[in-house]
Amino acid sequence: MSFGWTPSAADRRLLPEGRLAGPMPWVIAIMMFLTVLAAAAGLGLGAAARALGDDLAGKLTVQIVEADPVIRDRQATAVAAALERLSVVRTVDRLGQAEMAALLEPYLGEGGLAGDELPVPALIDVVLSDGGERAMADVAAAVRTAAPKARIDRHARWLAPLTGLIDSLRWLAIALVLLMAAATAAAVVLAARAALNTHRFTIDVLHLMGSTDTQIAWLFQRRIALDALFGGLVGLTSAIAVLMLLGARVSEIGSDLLGAATLGLRSWALILLLPVAGAILAMLAARITVLRTLRRML
């Protein structure tokens, strides 16, 4: 009986079943396929949430709501000048008439702002170097001084429901990964018990020859670990092929939000380690199951 990871000829005679003989490697392959997809979804959604938060944390829009175009223009100029003097403000961009017309064209049609009959608020896009509450308070004070009736809209506030949805989906992906790990462990326990019942006579002979429970357990846990590693690699390869296909489809859509759900080097490293983690989990589950069953057999 050898204790290396490569079974000897004698070990193969003791446990003659190969890695492709039983259903367990294929069950683990399916579990690993779903686990990799769930983990990739969770990691990608986490990256999208961080990118969305970083992009919107310091962005806001100031609306100058005034019916008189002369007063509106004067207040907009004063607000832009006041914001440019603040150290927390990175850029100030006042939207011109052409940009406003382009924004409202889907709703008003072409030429909807051709005259002055429709008063439109003046819009000023502001990007802050610091999106903290203190910076927002400084901006609000400067805006209120120049235009008391101005409105300040934080971009992050409007997209807060979307951010919450992304966070919920990410936690759902994490829960799915944990459920797949539990299902994999349960499958290993069933496979270990079935293998023990199949080789009951061989185990009795090994006990008579002086083999300990630990030595016998090593035979089963090594075989199950190799089965799990084989199934994990099959599931990982299939999942990566699906992820590549989905990535190509997402790039064709051209969505900034979907494009932000990318996997970095650290995320890919975690995904590539999943088959190894699955093999370790299977080995531990098999060892505990075999040792407990052998103690009850004696």
* Number of helical H runs and strand E runs in the chain: 12, 4
Task: Examine the domain organization and report whether 189 and 275 are in the same domain.
Answer: yes
| Cα dihedral: 168, 159, 146, 84 (round 10) | 90
Query: Does residue 154 lie in a domain region?
Result: no
Poorest-confidence range of 27-41, 75-89, 168-182, 204-218? 204-218
The highest-confidence range among 51-55, 198-202, 249-253, by mean pLDDT, is: 198-202
Mean pLDDT of the chain: 78
Q: Among 117, 149, 181, give the residue marking a domain's end.
A: 149
Task: Examine the domain organization and report whether 201 and 287 are in the same domain.
Answer: yes
Q: Among 87, 115, 149, give the residue marking a domain's end.
A: 149
pLDDT tens column, 130-148: 767 787 888 888 888 888 8
Parallel/antiparallel/unpaired status of strands 122-128 and 89-94:
antiparallel
Task: Report yes or no: 221 and 12 within 8 Å, Cβ to Cβ.
Answer: no
Task: Report yes or no: 297 and 247 within 8 Å, Cβ to Cβ.
Answer: no
E strand or H helix that includes residue 73: helix 69-84
Residue 34 has pLDDT above 90, yes or no: yes
Q: Give the pTM.
A: 0.70
Task: Examine the domain organization and report whether 180 and 282 are in the same domain.
Answer: yes
Number of domain units in the chain = 2
| The residue type at 248 | A
Task: Examine the domain organization and report whether 123 and 270 are in the same domain.
Answer: no
| The residue type at 11 | D
DSSP assignment of 180-200 equals HHHHHHHHHHHHHHHHHHHTH
Task: Examine the domain organization and report whether 250 and 129 are in the same domain.
Answer: no
Residue 3 has pLDDT above 50, yes or no: no
**What pLDDT score does 18 carry?**
47
Under the banding of pLDDT at 50, 70 and 90, the label for residue 182 is very high
Task: Report yes or no: 11 and 219 within 8 Å, Cβ to Cβ.
Answer: yes
Rounded Cα gap, residues 134 and 140, in angstroms: 10
Under the banding of pLDDT at 50, 70 and 90, the label for residue 59 is confident
Place of tokens 């949805």: 165
Task: Examine the domain organization and report whether 226 and 280 are in the same domain.
Answer: yes
Query: Which residues, 6+ apart, have CB-to-CB distance to 102 below 8 Å?
Result: none
Domain assignment of residue 205, given as a range: 9-53+161-297
Rounded Cα gap, residues 213 and 88, in angstroms: 69
Q: Which two tokens stand for residue 89?
A: 């403000």
Residue 202 has pLDDT above 90, yes or no: no
Give the percent of the chain with pLDDT over 90: 14
DSSP structural state of residue 127: E
pLDDT tens column, 240-281: 999 888 877 776 665 555 555 677 788 889 999 999 999 999
**What pLDDT score does 170 carry?**
84
59-64: strand order across its sheet: 89-94, 122-128, 59-64, 151-154
State the alpha helices, DSSP H only, in 109-254: 133-146, 155-158, 160-198, 200-208, 213-253
Query: Does residue 155 lie in a domain region?
Result: no
